[in-house]
């Protein structure tokens, strides 16, 4: 696998992992403590989802042009 493709996959994995943690743990903890962190986490969640979508789109483009190898 080419380095560029590995890097995209690794970035996608990290973003998905971070998003999962926000949704499953961090946001729940912030709600329980009633702090302002929840707004920050919601903003980060939206940004991560946009990053995930962009990474997926780029990986699909690589696949369609046989650059994924």
Is position 69 within any domain? Answer: no
Q: Is residue 41 scored above 90 in pLDDT?
A: yes
**Is residue 8 included in any domain, yes or no?**
yes
Q: Which domain holds residue 35?
A: 3-64
In-domain check, residue 52: yes
In a domain, 26, yes or no: yes
Give the pLDDT band (50/70/90) at residue 27: very high
Residue 48 located in a structural domain: yes
Counting the structural domains of the chain, the total is 1
In a domain, 57, yes or no: yes
The full DSSP string for 13-69 is HHHHHHHHHIIIIIHHHHHHHT-THHHHHHHHHHHHHHHHHHHHHHHHHHHHTT---
User: Please, which pLDDT band fits residue 18 given cuts at 50, 70 and 90?
Assistant: very high
Q: Which residue has the tokens 């080419």?
A: 2
- pLDDT given for residue 34 in this prediction: 79
- 41, part of any domain: yes
Range 1-14 average pLDDT:
94
Give the global pTM.
0.86
């Amino acid at each position: 696998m080419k380095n560029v493709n590995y890097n995209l996959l690794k970035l996608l994995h990290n973003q998905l992992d971070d998003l999962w943690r926000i949704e499953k743990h961090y946001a729940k903890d912030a709600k329980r403590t009633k702090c302002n962190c929840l707004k920050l986490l919601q903003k980060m969640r939206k940004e991560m989802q946009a990053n995930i979508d962009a990474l997926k789109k780029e990986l699909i483009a690589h696949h369609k042009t046989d650059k994924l190898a």
